[in-house]
C-alpha cells in the first residue's frame, strides 16, 4: 500500500531532522578542533622541563612504579628492564608488576624480577588469580602494598626513558604546586613507520598529545590522564573526595583524573617529555582498542556529566569537558548520516546538502593534525600528514564498532575489559602473525560489509538521480567500510597462514573468560624470530 502524501511528508521531515542533527553535531566537533588549534598557537610554547638534581635533594621522595599487565609475554621483559634503567636512587624506588596473566607472562615476569632483585632493585610481582575489576582492580589492590608517595604507571607496550622520574617528580616538589595531582607525559611511537595503519594511528595520537592536551592545559580547562606514562600523587588517589581507583568504567584513568580535578587537584601535562609505545599493527587489535576507549569515555561522560555541570568550573571549562568526555559520540553521528542519506535520496530531498560539506570539509581536524606534525617533525611534516585520507577512511570504517560501544555504554551493558594485544613490533620486517595473541575475525565485520553495500546502493541511486553532491560523501563511507572488511580479512588470513595452530586462542579465551596455557619457551622464541 503506497504512502499517503501526509505520511510521505512526515517521513521526509523526520529524515531531514535526523540529517540536520548529525551534520550539525559533526560541525560542532570540527569547530572544537579549530578552537583547540587556535588555543595551541595562541597560548602554548615549548619550554623545556627542568630536571631534578638528585644530588642536591636532602630527602628523595619514595616512588613506586606500577606495571599493570595481562598476558604480555612478548613485551613484559622489555618493560621491566626499561623501568630498572630509570635514573633514581634505588633505595627510594619500588617496581610492582601487577600481573593478572593466565599464560607464560607470569613466569617471565617472575624470572626477570628475580634477576633484578639479585642486583639490589626492589622489583615485585603481585599476581592475582582473579581479574576482579580488571586494570582498575589491579591498581587499587596493589596500592596498599606500594611504598611510594608518588605512583608512576606504565602499560606493557611502553618503554620509559631513563630520565622519566627526573622530569616528572620536580613539579610535585615545588612548594607552589602542592595541589598537582598527576603529571602526564606525551606518548611517542616505537613502530610508527611499520605500516600505513601504524602511521595513521601515530598521526591521530600526535594530534591529541601535541595539540589537544597542551591547548586544554593552556586554557586552564580539564584534561585526562591517559592511563600510562604518567605519575600520580598518592595523596590525590587516596583523597576521600576523589574516591580512588574505580572499576565501573572501562576508562578508569579518565574517570579518576576528572574526579581528581573536580575535587580541586590540578593536572600537569609535559609535552616535551616523550615516552615511546607500540601502536597496534593488527587492524582488529586497533578496533578493539578504539571500542574500549569509546565505551569507557562515554561511561565516564554518563557518570560525571552531572557533577561537571554542578561544579564551580567556568561554563567554557564545563563545555570543554563535555566535548572531551563525549568525543566518541562523533561515531554515532557519522552512522546516523549514512543511514538517513539513502531515504533522503529516495525522497529526492536536496535541501540539506550544504550541511554535508559543513561537516565533511571542516578545517578543524586536518589543520589540527597538520599543526601537530609540523611541531614534531619540522620540514618533514607533510609526508606524515599525507596519511590523513587513510585516517579519514579508518574513522568512517570505525563508526559501526564505536557506535555499538557508545550504545552499550548508554545502556550500561557490561562487557569484559579486552586489552589490546602487544607483539613487540618495531621494524618493518618484524612479524606479529605467528603470535597466539593475533585476533581472529569478529561478527562485527558482517555489519561493516552490509553498511559498505548500503553506501554503494546510495551511490548508485545518487548517480541515477544525478545528485552529484552526495557521491563523494557516500564514497568515503563505502571505502571506509571496505577498508575495514578487506584489511581485516587479509590480515586474519595472513596470520592463519603463518600461524602455528595457536593463532587467535588468546583473544577468544579472553573474551570468554577462560584460561589458556600460553606459548612454551620454544614457541615464544620462534614467534619473536618471525
Q: Is the dihedral of CA 249, 251, 252, 257 positive or negative?
A: negative
Contacts of 351 (CB under 8 A, 6+ apart): 16
**Which residues are registered as beta bridge partners of 99?**
69, 127
Q: Measured at the alpha carbon of residue 128, what is the angle toward residues 125 and 134, in degrees to the nearest 5?
A: 110
Q: What single-letter DSSP state applies at residue 267?
A: E
CB-facing half-sphere around the CA of 85: CA atoms within 13 A: 10
H/E element holding 188? strand 180-189
- Distance separating alpha carbons of residues 193 and 203, to the nearest angstrom: 11
Neighbours of 512 (CB within 10 A): 8
- Distance separating alpha carbons of residues 11 and 368, to the nearest angstrom: 38
The dihedrals phi and psi of 59, each to the nearest 5 degrees, come to -135, 105
Q: Which residue has the cell 557518570?
A: 303
- The DSSP string of 135-181 is HHHHHHHHGGG---SEEEE--TTB---TTHHHHHSHHHH-GGGTTEE
Q: Residues with catalytic annotation?
A: 100, 253
> Measured between alpha carbons, how far is residue 189 from residues 182, 353, 481 in Å?
22, 39, 26
Of 299, 214, 217, the residue nearest 256 (C-alpha) = 299
**Which residues are registered as beta bridge partners of 157?**
none
Q: What single-letter DSSP state applies at residue 125?
A: E
Amino acid at each position: 500500500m503506497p504512502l499517503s502524501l501526509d505520511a510521505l511528508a512526515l517521513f521526509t521531515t523526520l529524515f531531514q531532522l535526523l540529517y540536520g542533527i548529525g551534520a550539525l553535531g559533526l560541525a560542532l566537533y570540527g569547530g572544537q578542533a579549530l578552537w583547540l588549534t587556535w588555543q595551541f598557537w595562541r597560548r602554548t610554547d615549548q619550554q623545556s622541563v627542568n630536571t631534578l638534581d638528585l644530588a642536591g635533594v636532602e630527602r628523595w621522595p619514595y616512588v613506586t612504579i606500577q606495571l599493570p599487565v595481562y598476558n604480555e609475554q612478548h613485551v613484559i621483559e622489555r618493560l621491566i628492564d626499561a623501568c630498572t634503567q630509570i635514573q633514581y636512587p634505588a633505595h627510594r624506588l619500588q617496581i610492582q608488576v601487577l600481573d593478572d596473566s593466565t599464560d607464560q607472562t607470569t613466569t617471565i615476569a617472575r624470572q626477570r624480577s628475580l634477576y633484578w632483585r639479585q642486583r639490589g632493585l626492589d622489583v615485585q610481582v603481585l599476581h592475582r588469580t582473579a581479574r576482579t575489576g580488571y586494570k582498575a582492580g589491579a591498581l587499587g589492590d596493589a596500592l596498599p602494598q606500594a611504598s611510594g608517595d608518588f605512583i608512576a604507571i606504565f602499560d606493557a607496550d611502553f618503554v620509559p626513558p631513563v630520565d622519566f622520574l627526573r622530569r616528572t617528580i620536580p613539579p610535585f616538589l615545588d612548594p607552589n604546586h602542592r595541589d598537582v595531582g598527576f603529571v602526564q607525559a606525551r606518548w611517542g611511537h616505537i613502530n610508527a613507520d611499520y605500516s600505513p595503519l601504524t602511521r595513521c594511528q601515530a598521526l591521530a595520537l600526535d594530534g591529541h598529545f601535541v595539540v589537544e592536551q597542551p591547548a586544554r592545559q593552556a586554557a586552564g580547562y580539564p584534561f585526562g590522564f591517559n592511563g600510562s606514562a604518567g605519575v600520580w600523587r598518592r595523596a590525590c588517589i587516596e583523597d576521600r573526595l576523589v574516591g580512588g581507583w574505580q572499576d565501573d568504567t572501562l576508562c578508569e584513568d579518565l574517570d579518576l583524573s576528572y574526579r581528581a580535578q573536580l575535587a580541586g587537584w590540578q593536572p600537569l601535562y609535559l609535552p616535551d617529555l616523550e615516552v615511546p609505545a607500540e601502536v597496534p599493527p593488527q587492524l582488529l587489535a586497533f578496533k578493539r582498542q578504539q571500542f574500549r576507549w569509546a565505551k569507557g569515555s562515554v561511561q565516564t561522560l554518563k557518570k560525571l556529566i552531572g557533577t561537571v555541570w554542578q561544579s564551580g568550573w567556568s561554563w567554557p571549562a564545563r563545555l570543554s569537558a563535555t566535548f572531551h568526555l563525549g568525543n566518541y559520540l562523533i561515531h554515532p553521528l557519522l552512522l546516523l548520516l549514512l543511514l538517513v542519506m539513502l531515504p533522503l535520496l529516495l525522497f529526492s530531498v536536496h535541501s540539506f546538502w550544504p550541511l554535508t560539506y559543513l561537516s565533511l570539509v571542516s578545517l578543524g581536524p586536518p589543520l589540527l593534525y597538520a599543526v601537530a606534525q609540523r611541531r614534531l617533525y619540522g620540514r618533514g611534516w607533510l609526508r606524515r600528514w599525507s596519511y590523513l585520507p587513510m585516517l579519514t577512511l579508518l574513522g568512517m570504517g570505525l563508526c559501526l564498532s564505536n557506535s555499538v560501544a557508545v550504545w552499550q555504554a548508554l545502556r550500561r551493558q557490561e562487557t569484559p575489559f579486552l586489552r589490546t594485544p602487544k607483539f613487540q613490533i618495531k621494524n618493518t620486517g618484524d612479524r606479529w602473525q605467528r603470535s597466539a595473541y593475533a585476533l581472529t575475525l569478529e561478527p562485527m565485520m558482517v555489519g561493516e560489509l552490509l553498511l559498505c553495500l548500503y553506501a554503494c546502493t546510495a551511490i548508485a541511486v545518487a548517480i541515477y538521480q544525478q545528485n552529484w553532491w552526495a557521491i563523494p560523501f557516500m564514497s568515503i563511507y563505502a571505502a571506509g567500510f571496505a577498508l575495514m572488511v578487506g584489511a581485516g580479512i587479509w590480515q586474519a588470513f595472513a596470520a592463519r597462514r603463518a600461524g602455528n595452530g595457536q593463532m587467535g586462542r588468546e583473544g577468544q579465551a579472553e573474551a570468554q573468560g577462560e584460561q589458556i596455557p600460553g606459548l612454551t619457551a620454544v614457541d615464544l622464541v620462534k614467534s619473536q624470530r618471525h
